[in-house]
């Protein structure tokens, strides 16, 4: 696999370790995982990186509150994020922690590369201005509002609602102001660089309003990567954090195999709150270091709960494990991918979750598989039956599965429109269920057993294709479907979706096991 398709490199944002993982983190992980899995199934050699962002004032303060040394605190919380990738069945190829040695090396190397390639771009000065610890970001006076923070105190607030504090300290600066035109030219030449378009417009208008130089080092705390050559300073956490995307593929070894194969990245998947860092700072740092820019930044929306922003003070924060315990892992993955549309905010509600899971998974795909395989098991000696001559209805369903499914699905996937890709796949599920109802194989059992065999064969073959195409979203359930059909593990990628690789008649199958149980509405609501 992967011999003649382009390598594909995709990343998530790396999570701050100042709190436990929540549904928002889980959503981003799943979104990125689904893309990575689709690309592998489509024959690409994929590198998928995720990790944790462990430096900066926010993490240092939280560690202190917990009475722990920063590194010990990070070790503890990072484990929760690593555990989340397992809980969610995330197929990341690497997990980077910014406190690793390899990352110190890469972060210092990019600093040096900027100094070597553009010596005027880093200069020593004094920062006097506003800083939001929660965003780990600098803000201009004009961007601030007056407001009350979560603790009820009056404050100047950053656009995110986080309080800002006044900072005055010696600092190294990055000459971001020199990149205004270069960035605008780059955005014009690469119209797909930032998606969705609304975010691209937001960034372009921000850049057009003129960029200020930014402070890229701090001296009033020490929890960070030391600035090369001046260890009184630690690097600004975002400069170190963004560099993770190249640390993960071996930077500074730009001649190394991983770097040559995977840089520039195909996709940085991030949330809408951190576009300024990814769409302005990161490209500018890379230009200054004379490195190539990633191909695309995709900013997804936020997951709200029952229409409200998730927050500790509201008490509506959902831990990913709770959803998995309630609905099942693949059901949770499906739900998030089906419910949230391209780049928009998504809303989570238990009521809606139950309806969606029952209609699409339990009654839709699950029921199709269960009734088909049970009938085969009972009425065909527990063997895939041999089909007789196909009629137009049979041909139509198989043609949909073999020839009219993968291409449109991949087109949606390539744009991260997984809700539409799933809608598309479920058209086949619905067609197959309508076909069962119309053909009524249970009635054919007596009337025309040979015809029943054909119908059951056509259904089993359709299920094989559905099992293959759904793997990226519901990996373990789809594997179970394919296991039940006795499909070899090496015959499950998209190149096997065609009539050439149809099911072998007479393959023995086991007694079928249900895949997506129906959720009891009353019990789950409680």
Where does this chain bind ligand MSP (CB under 6 A)?
Answer: 13-16, 24-25, 27-28, 53, 241-242, 244, 270-271, 273-274, 302-303, 310
Nearest position to ligand MSP, beta carbon:
271
Whichever of 318 and 382 has its CB closer to ligand MSP, that residue is 318
Residue 385: CB minimum distance to ligand MSP, A? 47
297 Rama class: left (phi>0) / alpha (psi -120 to 50) / beta:
beta
Helices 406-414 & 23-41, crossing angle to 10 degrees? Answer: 130
In angstroms and rounded to an integer, the radius of gyration of the C-alpha atoms of the chain is: 26
Burial class (CB in 10 A: 0-12, 13-18, 19+), 474: buried
Whichever of 309 and 395 has its CB closer to ligand MSP, that residue is 309
67 Rama class: left (phi>0) / alpha (psi -120 to 50) / beta:
left
Whichever of 75 and 273 has its CB closer to ligand MSP, that residue is 273
Residue 270: CB minimum distance to ligand MSP, A? 4
Whichever of 241 and 401 has its CB closer to ligand MSP, that residue is 241
Report the sign of the C-alpha dihedral through residues 275, 95, 26, 341, in that order.
positive
Nearest to 41 by CA among 406, 345, 316: 406
Whichever of 98 and 474 has its CB closer to ligand MSP, that residue is 98
Whichever of 346 and 387 has its CB closer to ligand MSP, that residue is 346
Whichever of 241 and 487 has its CB closer to ligand MSP, that residue is 241
Q: Which residues contact 320 (CB under 8 A, 6 or more apart)?
A: 21, 22, 23, 25, 26, 84, 87, 88, 332
The two structure tokens encoding residue 289? 């270091």
Q: Which residues contact 523 (CB under 8 A, 6 or more apart)?
A: none
3-state secondary structure of 80: helix
Residue 215: CB minimum distance to ligand MSP, A? 18
Residue 78: CB minimum distance to ligand MSP, A? 12
The two structure tokens encoding residue 477? 């359930």
Residue pair 29/317 in contact (Cβ under 8 Å)? The answer is no
Residue 35: CB minimum distance to ligand MSP, A? 15
Residue 55: CB minimum distance to ligand MSP, A? 10
Residue 426: CB minimum distance to ligand MSP, A? 24
């Amino acid at each position: 696999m992967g011999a003649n398709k382009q390598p594909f490199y995709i990343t998530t944002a790396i999570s701050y370790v100042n709190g436990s993982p929540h549904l928002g983190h889980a959503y981003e992980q799943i979104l990125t995982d689904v893309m990575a899995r689709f690309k592998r199934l489509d024959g690409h050699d994929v590198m998928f990186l995720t990790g944790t962002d462990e430096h900066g004032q926010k993490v240092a303060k939280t560690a202190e509150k917990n009475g722990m040394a920063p590194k010990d605190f990070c070790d503890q919380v990072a484990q929760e994020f690593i555990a989340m990738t397992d809980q969610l069945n995330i197929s990341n190829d690497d997990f980077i922690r910014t406190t690793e040695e390899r990352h110190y090396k890469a972060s210092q190397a990019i600093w040096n590369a900027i100094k070597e390639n553009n010596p005027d771009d880093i200069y020593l000065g004094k920062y006097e201005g506003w800083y939001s610890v929660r965003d780990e970001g600098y803000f201009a006076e004009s961007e601030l509002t007056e407001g009350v923070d979560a603790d009820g105190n009056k404050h100047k607030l950053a656009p995110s609602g986080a309080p800002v504090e006044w900072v005055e300290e010696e600092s190294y600066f990055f000459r971001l102001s020199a990149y205004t035109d270069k960035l605008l030219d780059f955005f014009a030449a690469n119209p797909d660089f930032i998606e969705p378009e609304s975010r691209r417009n937001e960034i372009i208008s921000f850049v057009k309003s003129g960029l200020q130089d930014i402070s890229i080092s701090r001296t009033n705390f020490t929890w960070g990567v030391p600035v090369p050559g001046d260890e009184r300073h630690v690097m600004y956490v975002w400069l170190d954090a963004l560099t993770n995307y190249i640390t993960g593929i071996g930077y500074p070894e730009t001649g190394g195999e991983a770097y040559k194969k995977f840089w520039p990245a195909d996709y940085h998947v991030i949330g809408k709150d951190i576009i300024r860092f990814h769409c302005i700072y990161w490209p500018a740092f890379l230009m200054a270091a004379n490195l190539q820019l990633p191909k695309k930044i995709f900013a997804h929306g936020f997951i709200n709960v029952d229409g409200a922003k998730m927050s500790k003070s509201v008490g509506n924060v959902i831990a990913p494990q709770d959803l998995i315990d309630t609905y099942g892992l693949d059901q949770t993955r499906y739900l998030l991918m089906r419910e949230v549309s391209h780049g928009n905010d998504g809303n989570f509600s238990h009521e809606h979750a139950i309806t969606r899971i029952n209609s699409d998974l339990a009654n839709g795909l699950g029921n199709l598989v269960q009734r088909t395989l049970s009938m085969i098991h009972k009425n065909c000696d527990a063997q895939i039956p041999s089909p007789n001559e196909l009629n137009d209805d049979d041909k139509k369903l198989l043609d949909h599965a073999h020839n009219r499914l993968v291409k449109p699905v991949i087109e949606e996937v390539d744009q991260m429109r997984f809700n539409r890709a799933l809608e598309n796949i479920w058209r086949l599920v619905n067609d197959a269920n309508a076909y069962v109802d119309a053909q009524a194989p249970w009635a054919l059992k007596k009337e025309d057993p040979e015809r029943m065999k054909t119908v059951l064969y056509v259904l089993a073959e359709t299920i094989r294709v559905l099992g293959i195409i759904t793997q990226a979203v519901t990996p373990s359930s789809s594997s179970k479907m394919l296991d039940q059909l006795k499909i070899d593990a090496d015959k499950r990628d998209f190149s096997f979706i065609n009539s050439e690789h149809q099911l072998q008649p007479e393959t023995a199958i086991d007694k079928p096991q249900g895949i997506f149980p129906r959720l009891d509405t009353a019990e789950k609501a409680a």
